[in-house]
Structure 1
Amino acid sequence: MNLNVAVIGPSDLVDKVVEVGSVFQELNMIPAPYPHEQDTLEVVARVREQGDILLFTGPIPYQLALDSEPGLPMVHVQYSGTTLYKVLFDFYRTQLLEMDGEIRISVDVLLRHELEEQLDELGLVRRQIYVKPYSAGTGHEDLVAFHYELWSQGLVAATVTCVTSVYQQLVELGVPAFRVVPTQSSIRDVLNRALLEGKSLRLSSTQIAIGILNIDHFERVVKEAASDYEVQRKKIILQQILIDFGEETQSLIKWTDSGEVSFITTRGIIEQATRKFEQAPLLLEVMERLQWKASIGIGLGRTANEA
């Protein structure tokens, strides 16, 4: 079975990733472009059920989604210092910089030490670089202001950004702007990571999951009940809850007279039902509808005994 990869990012980068990914026979590429980074979460909400894994064309939409939906399997294209090579070539091709001149640029998202390494390897020692790495809370306006102020003060001859919307606005402002885009090799790298991540997720999702639901102090609950009819009615309600849960999770369910219920399913299904073990809908429903205190435990393993 192929892995469905939802590709999220600006339309041109999404097309590029989908094109490179077309040679991966085990991957089904699902394009999910957005008009602006601020629309990332809306796109994620739309495609989260379609994709086995979400692939972002850059680190910023990835971080936005990670902060909001930490349980989803996600990867992103790495923007390293090597992506600066093409930008530097564009500098000289457009005659914005001379080969023997000083490089004065502002850069966002990329890390300073990676930039320094690449420039050292190229022998470009005459340079003045201003770097604004991305961090939580950094907005589109912050990045635009960073570049524009440096350029307007004459401190830089050109600006380099990894963010499409920032590039577009800088161009509108008349600022010499260059956009960093991922190389084909970095796209292939992230597609390979997505493939490995997907295989790992599928392997873990087939693990056996065994759950045990226990009505706390069941014997005392029975004794304190107003009547035996009340206990029987609640048992019928409990049985209905378990039937519905079993149907939803395709579980095998075993009920005992001691107030304990066990069920067997797979890890993938139980993770889906509990939103990565962040919620306990079965436990909540039992406690709300029956007014009985209860506890639940779930074990995972490659074998039933291990689980």
Structure 2
Amino acid sequence: MLMGHGSVPVPCRLVAAAYRDEQEAADKVVKLGAGVDVCLFASPLPYDFARRSGVLSVPATYVPLGGAALHAALSRAVRDERLDLTRVSVDVIERAEVEEAYSDLGLSADGVQTRDEPGAVGTLTNFHERLFRRGATTGALTCLPAVAERLEAAGVPAVLVRPTTSSIRGALHSAALMGAHHRLEESQLTVVLVDVPTLREPVRRSAPRYWRDELRLALHRLLVQEGHRMQASVWPIDDHSYLVSATRGSVSGATDGFRVPPFAGRVREELGLTVEVGIGMGRTTHDAEAHARAALSRAQTSKQAQSFAVDREGRPLVPAPRLPPQPTGQPKPRGLEVLSRLAAKLEGGDTVVDAEAAGRMLGVTPRTARRLLRTLVDEGLAWPLPPNRTPQPGRPRQLYRLIIEKLGPARA
């Protein structure tokens, strides 16, 4: 059973997800996706299958079958003359819980065979039946109705361990608390500050007059697109930084659980820019922005690995940010060699060139250099800038910004 959106204690919505086999629980979780705040499984077995498959993205718990449920099953088993409680097999329930229940009843658990690891219906049925045929047990206590049916059909005495009403009520209450906490946590106000070092740098005389404005527009457009996917709002703060307002849940989804800085990968890929990011959370907008500025300042000033995100108490969430892994096994673009040769000839850190300057650096004609620069643009290694308007008659020069960051940190 899965618990849907709601608050504590009520109202809340329960979404039932039925399955024929406990191994299908993981598929049910995937189908419901983000439509639930917490998952409540009917027993430890489907919970364990879902946990091991790695599909759980929300808090999860299960109705316990130890404790009161196991005591109730043992009480029913006493009335079955075929069973000797000191010589039975038990599945799903942990050995420690079985020994505790037997100790409460004043019985020895030395002759009790247990298997708490998950398994398919056939596997668990074989576990019980094999022990019974060997004479090691007189019957079975199983947590799966399908296993109990198969054992009875094979002539093996079986008692089904069912959750008690009180254990179901307690599990529902725990799940409601977990879901409410998760909902509150995911809806925490989160502020992301994005700073662009390139736009902070002084304008060089050789740079075109309008290239910074064009770059800002392109960056703003990209951030708005990414913000729309995150259900976030984007505002420019000044000439080189932006503020993104969102919730913790949306930012967590876009950052792989705060392990990858947002926006950085796409900005680097499409615009060839490096951005610095700080993420902060807080009870108010002011607190969240203050924490985001603290995280951004730490990322800008510290040479050591630091977190780029802090919680509402100002504590780092994760270790240092890591950029998304670059694709491997792909052919090397032809323009990389041209870009490398141009980067080696650049002077003063200026990355803006035209066909004439590129021709001199490469030792080719301007016409050939113009064709090579277009190749760099096609391969995402250069960015065409608006023409530099001059009072002189004739066709204005076409300028290109070389994205030397594509050569790697060392060579760039």
- Mapped contact 2:198–2:273 kept (Cα < 8 A): no
Cα distance in 1 for residues equivalent to 2:42 and 2:154: 25
| Whole-Å separation in 2 of the counterparts to 1:154 and 1:225 | 91
Matched, 1:170 2:151: yes
Could you give the per-residue CA deviations for residues 224-260 of structure 1, whole angstroms, max 9, x where no partner exists?
A: 9975555544432222122223444443433245532
Aligned to 2:103: 120
Distance in structure 1 (CA, Å) of the matches to 2:205 and 2:103: 79
SS at structure 1 position matched to 2:124: helix
Partner of 1:129: 112
Task: Compare 249-258 and 180-189 and name the one that shifted more.
Answer: 249-258
- Deviation, 1:73, is 2.0
Are 1:149 and 2:107 an aligned pair?
A: no
Residue 71 of structure 1 corresponds to which residue in structure 2? 57
1:53 partner SS: strand
Seen in structure 2, the aligned counterparts of structure 1 residues 210 and 102 have a Cα distance that, compared at 3 Å, is closer
Matching residue's letter, 1:129: V
Task: Say which SS state the counterpart of residue 300 (structure 1) adopts.
Answer: strand
Partner of 1:184: 165
Give the secondary structure class of the aligned counterpart of 2:111.
strand
Equivalent-residue separation in structure 2 for 1:306 and 1:233 (angstroms): 33
Task: Give me the whole-angstrom Cα distance separating, in 1, the residues matched to 2:229 and 2:33.
Answer: 20
Structure with the bigger percentage of strand: 1
- Aligned mate of 2:41, from 48, 56, 59: 56
Amino acid at match of 1:71: S
Q: 1:275 to 1:241 in 2, by over 3 A?
A: same
Gaps of 5+ in 1: 7-23
Task: Tell whether the 8 Å contact from 1:106 to 1:131 is kept in structure 2 after alignment.
Answer: yes
> Structure 1 residues 245, 284: closer, same or farther in 2, change over 3 A?
same
- Find the aligned partners of 2:267 and 2:195 in 1 and give their Cα distance: 10
| Aligned counterparts of 1:43 and 1:254: Cα–Cα separation in 2 | 39
Aligned to 1:260: 241
Amino acid at match of 1:42: D
Task: Report matched runs for 1:1-307 at 5 Å.
Answer: 5=3, 25-67=10-52, 68-97=54-83, 103-125=86-108, 128-134=111-117, 140-219=121-200, 227=208, 231-274=212-255, 276-278=257-259, 280=261, 282-307=263-288
Residues of 2 paired with 1:108 and 1:84: CA distance? Answer: 11
**1:162-195 deviation digits (Å, cap 9, x = unpaired):** 2344434434444322221211111111111111
User: 2:146, 2:180 → 1: CA distance?
Assistant: 34
Measure the CA separation in 2 of the matches of 1:33 and 1:220: 60
Q: Do the aligned partners of 1:208 and 1:267 also contact (CA within 8 Å) in 2?
A: yes
Q: Is there any run of 5+ residues in structure 2 with no aligned partner, and where?
A: 289-412
TM-score (norm 2): 0.60
Quote how far apart the aligned CAs of 1:108 are.
Answer: 1.6
Tell me the percent identity.
29
Cα offset for 1:155?
Answer: 0.6
Q: Which amino acid aligns with 1:146?
A: F
Deviates more, 1:296-305 or 1:30-39: 296-305
> Considering only aligned residues, what root-mean-square deviation do their CA atoms show, in Å?
3.0
Distance 1:119 1:42 in 2: 36
TM-score, structure 1 length as denominator? 0.78
List per-residue Cα deviations over 1:257-288 (Å, max 9, x = no partner).
Answer: 55322212232332344453355553322222
Assess if the C-alpha contact under 8 Å between 1:252 and 1:264 holds in 2. Answer: yes
AA of the residue aligned to 1:267 = R
Distance 1:224 1:192 in 2: 68
Amino acid at match of 1:79: L
Q: How many residues align?
A: 282
Q: Which amino acid aligns with 1:289?
A: E
Sort the Cα spacing of 1:261 and 1:222 in 2 relative to 1 into closer, same or farther, 3 A. Answer: farther
Q: CA deviation at 1:105?
A: 0.3
SS of the residue aligned with 1:296?
strand
Greater relative CO (CA pairs within 8 A, separation 6+): 1
- Residue 211 of structure 1 and its aligned partner are, at CA, apart by 0.6
CA distance in 2, matches of 1:277, 1:114: 37
Residue 78 of structure 2: SS of its match in structure 1?
helix
Does the CA contact (< 8 Å) of 1:164 and 1:179 recur in 2? yes
Q: Give the Cα separation in 1 of the matches to 2:204 and 2:159.
A: 76
Return the index of the structure with the highest Cα Rg.
2
> For residue 182 of structure 2, what is the amino acid of its counterpart?
L
State the one-letter code of the partner of 2:140. T
Secondary structure (helix, strand or coil) at the match of 1:182 reads coil
**Cα 1:154–1:200 shift into 2, 3 Å:** same
